[in-house]
């Protein structure tokens, strides 16, 4: 089964206060956009290369968790062959001495944009093991992630992948989890992840996990997304703003005509980012110079988007290493 995790933009982002738990209360509107990764999950047969040998058990007992039948098999001797399957584990003599066999639950492969870091820190892998704790019968799987959405860019690409992995595993293996339950799991992966369970325009508060669906239809517009390949750390971003309560809530501003947003709908992270990285401000100016009705940085940056009338021809000139994408809304 294949799904296509989409990205989001923030329409306004106010940081209201810092909480006692170290997180920040915020308000924003999450809006889904058609810029997609691809994520596939298939059941995988157990083969010899999926078995890990460690040296902390006796030769008389090798425990293997059978992910096919949700039971624990105990064998006194194990014969490993090149065509070992999940269905056939041969109880026979072996030369194993003081070794234990365990089964890797997930094999992750990737393509597209390079993904930094270990697989164990990938939110898709974390999503699998998060569900595996409560649903131990989840089988061995192979997961492939084709990465298109820029990472660390304020577009929520990693969060989308993790949330879509939860939904995909739920649907593929009939876990029968409700949206509310999936949201609770998603919050354990990250503050942005719950949005992608609903994946509809939402006014969000708290850490971003308290969501209220809103009627906001921007299908008459097209979006230009520009990422200058600048990484802005979340810690740096929060460290350069002063939380405050705005004079007018984003929830009120968002229902005003879009041509009024320019002076009202603000991302608190944007100005400090522009001060430190002038290229971000240059992108925003370029988008406005070419007819954008509204432009803003999304999330903590560094991606900037512009909203244009649908059908308008837009000729932009950015350096070749910039990521530039024209998109419609995700419907």
Residue 127 lies in a domain: no
Q: Mean pLDDT over residues 284-304, rounded? A: 97
* Residue 131, both tokens: 């569900």
Residue 234 lies in a domain: yes
> What phi and psi values does residue 96 have, to the nearest 5 degrees?
-65, 135
> What is the predicted pLDDT for the residue at 51?
54
Q: How many CB atoms lie within 10 A of CB 234?
A: 14
Question: pLDDT averaged over the chain?
Answer: 85
Contact criterion met (CB below 8 Å) for 46 and 102:
no
Q: What per-residue confidence (pLDDT) applies to 68?
A: 35
Q: How many domains does the chain have?
A: 1
Is the pLDDT at 312 greater than 50? The verdict is: yes
Query: Is the model's pLDDT at 73 over the cut of 80?
Result: no
Give the pLDDT confidence score for residue 50 in this predicted structure.
52
Strands 141-147 and 106-112: parallel
Distance CA 256, CA 252 (A): 7
Question: What per-residue confidence (pLDDT) applies to 224?
Answer: 97
Largest distance between two CA atoms of the chain:
77
> Residue 56: inside a domain, yes or no?
no
Q: What is the DSSP letter of 132?
A: H
| C-alpha distance from residue 19 to each of 22, 24, 26, 215 (Å) | 5, 5, 10, 30
Range of the domain at 311: 221-327
Dihedral pair phi/psi, residue 237, rounded to 5°: -60, -50
Q: Which residues are catalytic?
A: 8, 192
Q: What is the reported pTM?
A: 0.82
Instruction: Considering only residues 303 and 104, tell me which one the structure prediction assigns the higher pLDDT.
Output: 303
Q: Is 27 a domain residue?
A: no
Give the separation between CA 274 and CA 225, rounded to whole angstroms: 17
Lookup: tokens for 172: 């593929």
How does residue 115 score in pLDDT terms, banded at 50, 70 and 90?
Answer: very high
DSSP letter for 209, please: T
Q: Residue 229 falls within a domain, yes or no?
A: yes
- What's the pLDDT at 97? 35
- Asked if pLDDT for residue 63 goes beyond 60, the answer is no
Q: Is residue 68 part of a domain?
A: no
- Specify if 290 maps to a domain: yes
CATH of the domain at 287: 3.30.70.890
In a domain, 124, yes or no: no
pLDDT in tens, 221-269: 999 999 999 999 989 999 999 999 999 999 999 999 999 999 999 999 9
Q: What per-residue confidence (pLDDT) applies to 242? A: 94
Across the strands, what pairs with 212?
203
């Amino acid at each position: 089964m294949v799904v296509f995790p989409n990205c989001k933009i923030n329409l306004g982002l106010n940081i209201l206060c810092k909480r006692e738990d170290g997180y920040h209360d915020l308000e924003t509107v999450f809006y889904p956009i058609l810029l997609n990764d691809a994520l596939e999950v298939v059941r995988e047969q157990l083969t010899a290369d999926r078995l890990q040998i460690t040296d902390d058990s006796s030769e008389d007992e090798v425990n293997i968790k059978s992910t096919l039948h949700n039971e624990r098999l105990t064998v006194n001797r194990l014969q490993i062959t090149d065509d070992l399957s999940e269905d056939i584990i041969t109880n026979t003599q072996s030369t194993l001495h003081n070794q234990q066999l365990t089964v890797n639950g997930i094999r992750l492969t990737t393509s597209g944009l390079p993904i930094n870091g270990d697989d164990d820190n990938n939110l898709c892998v974390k999503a699998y093991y998060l569900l595996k704790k409560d649903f131990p019968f989840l089988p061995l799987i192979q997961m492939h992630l084709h990465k298109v959405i820029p990472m660390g860019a304020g577009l929520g690409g990693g969060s989308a992948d993790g949330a879509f992995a939860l939904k995909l595993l739920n649907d593929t293996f009939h876990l029968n989890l409700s949206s509310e339950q999936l949201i609770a799991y998603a919050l354990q992966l990250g503050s942005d992840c719950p949005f992608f369970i609903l994946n509809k325009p939402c006014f969000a508060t708290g850490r971003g996990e308290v969501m209220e669906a809103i009627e906001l239809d921007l299908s008459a517009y097209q979006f230009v997304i520009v990422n200058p390949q600048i990484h802005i750390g979340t810690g740096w971003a929060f460290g350069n703003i002063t939380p405050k309560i705005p004079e007018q809530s984003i929830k009120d501003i968002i229902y005003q005509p879009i041509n009024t947003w320019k002076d009202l709908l603000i991302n608190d992270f944007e100005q400090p980012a522009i001060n430190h990285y002038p290229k971000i401000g240059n992108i925003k100016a370029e988008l406005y110079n070419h007819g954008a009705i509204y432009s803003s940085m999304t999330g903590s940056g560094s991606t900037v988007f512009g909203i244009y009338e649908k059908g308008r021809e837009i000729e932009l000139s950015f350096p070749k290493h910039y990521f530039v994408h024209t998109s419609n809304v995700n419907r």
